[in-house]
Amino acid sequence: MLTERSLAVSRLALPMAQTAEPRGTRRGELPPELDDPLFATAQGQLDQALERAGVDEKIAEVLRYPERALAVAIPVRLDDGSLGVYPGYRVQHSSVLGPTKGGVRYDRGVTLGECAALAMWMTWKCALLGLPYGGAKGGVRCNPRALSAGERERLTRRFTTELLPLIGPERDIPAPDMATDEQTMAWMMDTYSMQVGYAVPEIVTGKPLSVGGSVLRPEATGIGVVMVVEEAVARLGGALAGSSCVVQGYGKVGAVAAHELDRRGARVVAVSDISGGVYDERGLDLRALDRWRAEHGELAGHDGALTNEQLLELPCDVLVLAAAEDQVTAENAPRLEARLVAEGANGPTSLAADEILAERGIPVLPDILTNAGGVAVSYFEWVQDIQRLFWGPDEIRGRLADLMGGALGRVWELAEAESLSLRRAALVTSIREVAAALESRGIHP
């Protein structure tokens, strides 16, 4: 039955059906709702990888667009009695391998095109790890810092209600992203559960432990980064223990990665947050640094201060980028002195910088591989919720190590066999996985 909601879904779902061209969108031409620089980048990366993936052109054309998208308007009663109406989106890129999976972000920059790009990257990330998921992403365009906790709760509950035609434990499973957290996921889980009449913990991941969250989920991305780095250093003929490491971004990913590097015997010589960095060639005392940060709220002002620009150019064995996008650019890439770069953040290296680093022989461990530990443990959370049987931290660490090590191995071997950069090899691996599944299933009807 076509309800008003399902009409909204189908209106945005079919970029090809909307154009004047009866045969669909011409290659290279974006339908207006996807005309966004980030989506153009995601499609550009796909097109580059397709040159080497050996995938049937018709199958490739399907993968260039998101399968389905929903745009909603979210009315929220604000604390001062007025009403705010916020645009929200959910985009599902591919359900070929299973339900879609991806974060929900609250940010002023959220657009349908941005969600579509991030959803496509989630498809590649899940396929690379061999998870039975496709990619999705969603968000609400708002200034989360201007909303009270009560306003955020009402926004989240109404947004979840609007998403009901799309989400579900077998269909699409949200998770936290920028400015959303465990509490947001608990509200989403509760709202969904109230609609169906019983508790459905497996509708979201990244929840608090009290409602079916998983141990190690908060630390998973940072730990996964270090698992990939350790294996890559070994493959390059070195050892992580004793290596000098620099970590840009000391947040949920970077701080965990720095402590994990330290735990494995590496020397963390510099870390930074948005206020600036701290450097000690002998290795930082991270616990003392945490106490300082807890007291002062930021790293700026600590002994050994340096700027983020200086930090990126420090000589080191491993540079972990765990802050934000576009940190290594054509401008600073020629001055980097790291022997290996690991992308803990999404998109921290620009396309131009990537080429410069490749020419300089500096390998880059790409984001869709390196920061996939978060979605891996989200998958474990979903599996535990479905079977109502929970695993301990050692079991989860072991399974995470197997997934990350397996993915790195596949990427490394393809890069060597076909003379590709690690990024290109990661994308080619993922695209081949999804394309093989799509080819087997065929195009319906």
Active site residues: 137
Report which residue type is found at 345. Answer: A
CA distance 330 to 224: 28
Closer residue to ligand NAD in complex, CB, 41/346: 346
Report which residue type is found at 114. Answer: E
Minimum CB separation from ligand NAD for residue 142, in Å?
17
Give CA torsion, residues 330, 324, 429, 221, to 10 deg: 150
Closer residue to ligand NAD in complex, CB, 134/344: 344
Q: Which is it for strands 276-279 and 100-107: parallel, antiparallel or unpaired?
A: unpaired
CA distance 183 to 321: 27
Q: Which two tokens stand for residue 441?
A: 């299933």
Positions touching ligand NAD (CB under 6 A) are 221, 248-254, 272-274, 308, 322-324, 344-346, 371, 374
Q: Are 404 and 422 in contact (CB under 8 A)?
A: no
Query: Which residues does residue 342 pair with via DSSP β-bridges, in sequence order?
Result: 320, 365
In this structure, how many other beta carbons lie within 10 angstroms of the beta carbon of residue 418?
11
Query: Which residues does residue 134 pair with via DSSP β-bridges, in sequence order?
Result: 100
Residue nearest to ligand NAD (CB): 251
In this structure, how many other beta carbons lie within 10 angstroms of the beta carbon of residue 226?
28
Minimum CB separation from ligand NAD for residue 356, in Å?
20
CB-count exposure of residue 324 (10 Å: 0-12, 13-18, 19+): middle
Cis peptide before 445 (omega within 30 of 0): yes
Sign of the CA dihedral with 221 first, then 376, 136, and 25 last: positive
